[in-house]
Amino acid sequence: MESARLPGGRINLDKPRYDQSTYWGRAKHFFTVTDPRNLFHAESELDRMKQLLIKYRRGEEPAGTTDEEIWRAKKIFESAFHPDTGEKMFLPGRMSAQVPMNMTITGCMMTFYKTTPQVLFWQWINQSFNAIVNYTNRSGDSPISNRELGIAYTLATSGAISVALGLNYVTRNAPPIIGRFVPFAAVAAANCVNIPFMRKRELAKGIPVTDHDGNKIGESKAAARKAIASVVLSRIGMATPGMFFPPFIMQYLETKAFMKRFPILASPIQVLLVGFCLVFATPLCCAIFPQQSSLNVSHLETELQDIVKAKYGDSLHKVYFNKGL
C-alpha cells in the first residue's frame, strides 16, 4: 500500500512510498533502500534523477511523466544522495552496498578465524567498513567529528579483536563447530560498543521528540536510549542469520570429498551463503522497529512531562522520534 501522497494525488517526495506503520510496509521500503542494483547506476543517471525530482517538486516535470518514473527516480536518488546535505555519498558507505560488502567481509571473517593474524586482519577490515558506513550516513544536523569517529573506530576494533582472540583461546579445545561462532560474538560485541559511542552526543543531550503532528516538544535522553538500543538490536539481528546458519552448512560440506580436494572453495561458498542470508536479513531487520518510533509520555524526563502537561493536558499519550539507522 502506498502512503506517500499529497492532496490531489501527487507523490509526497518527503515520505517513503509504503505505509511505515506496518512491518511489511517498512520491509518493502528497506528492500528498495538496500537493493544492491542501486550501485550500478551511472553518475549521469544519478544526476538526471536528481534533476527530475527537483522539477517534480516545482510542478515542472516533463509532460507525460508517470508516477512509476517518479518512484524510480526517488529510489535511485535516495540510494546515492545524503538526505540532509544532498551530497553524493561515498559508494561503499551507501545502504545499497551493505549486502555485497558485508557478505564478502563476513564470509571471510568466518573462513579465516583460526589464527591471530587472520582475526586481526578481518576484524580490522570489518570495523573499517563500519566506520565508513557510519561516517557516510552521519547526520547533517549533528555531524560526527573526526575525533569521535576515530575513538569509536578504535574502541570497536579493539573490542572486536579482544573478544575474538579471547574466545578463540577459551574454545581452543572445544569442538570445531564452536570456534566457527567466535566471529559472530565479536561482531555483536563491537556493535554494542560502536553504535552507542558514535551517538554518545545523543545520549548526553537527547534527541528531538515531537507530537503526532511533528511539532517539536523538546529533546529527550530517554528517547535516545530507546533509539540506540533499537539500532543495536537491529544490527545484531542483521548479522545473526548469516553468521549462524553457514557454520553448520560449512561443517557438513568440509566432510565431503570435493571440499577436501579443493579447500580453496571454502571462502567463496561461505561468502555466497552469507550473502543469501543478508539479502533478506538486512531489510527485514531494519524494519523491525519503525523509523519514526514512539515513547509513552510517562517514560519521558520529568521536565518534558511537565511541558507536555502544560501544552497538551491529558490529550497526548505518546511522543515521536527518528531512531536512526
- Distant-in-sequence, close-in-space partners of 277: CB < 8 Å, separation ≥ 6: 241, 242, 245, 246
- Residue-by-residue DSSP string for 121-181: HHHHHHHHHHHHHHHHT--SSSPPPHHHHHHHHHHHHHHHHHHHHHHHHHTTTS-HHHHTT
Mean pLDDT of 17-29: 90
pLDDT digits (tens, 9 = 90+) for 150-184: 887 888 788 778 887 887 788 777 787 787 777 87
CA–CA distance from 309 to each of 111, 155, 224, 316, 319 (Å)?
Answer: 56, 41, 21, 8, 12
Give me the pLDDT at residue 55, please.
93
**pLDDT of the residue at 2:** 56
Grid coordinates representing 78 are 535516495
Where in the chain are the domains? 23-34+42-79, 100-322
Q: Please check the confidence at residue 137 and state whether its pLDDT lies above 80.
A: no
For residue 255, pLDDT beyond 80:
yes
Query: Quick one: 323 exposed, middle or buried, by C-beta within 10 A (0-12, 13-18, 19+)?
Result: buried
Cα(292)–Cα(163) distance, rounded to whole angstroms?
A: 34
SS3 2: strand
Statement: residue 191 has pLDDT above 90: no
Which is more confident, 198 or 258?
258
Phi-psi category of 122—alpha, beta or left, where left has phi over 0 and alpha has psi -120 to 50? Answer: alpha
Listed in sequence order, the DSSP H helices in the chain are: 23-33, 43-58, 67-80, 98-111, 116-136, 146-170, 176-179, 182-198, 200-205, 221-253, 257-261, 266-286, 302-312
Nearest to 75 by CA among 22, 17, 115: 17
- Kindly state the percentage of the chain with pLDDT values over 90: 16
**pLDDT higher than 70, residue 109:** yes
Dist. CA 173–CA 185, nearest whole Å: 18
Per DSSP bridges, beta strands 216-220 and 207-210 are: antiparallel
Question: 303 φ, ψ to 5°?
Answer: -65, -35
User: In the numeric block, which cell numbers belong to residue 211?
Assistant: 507530537
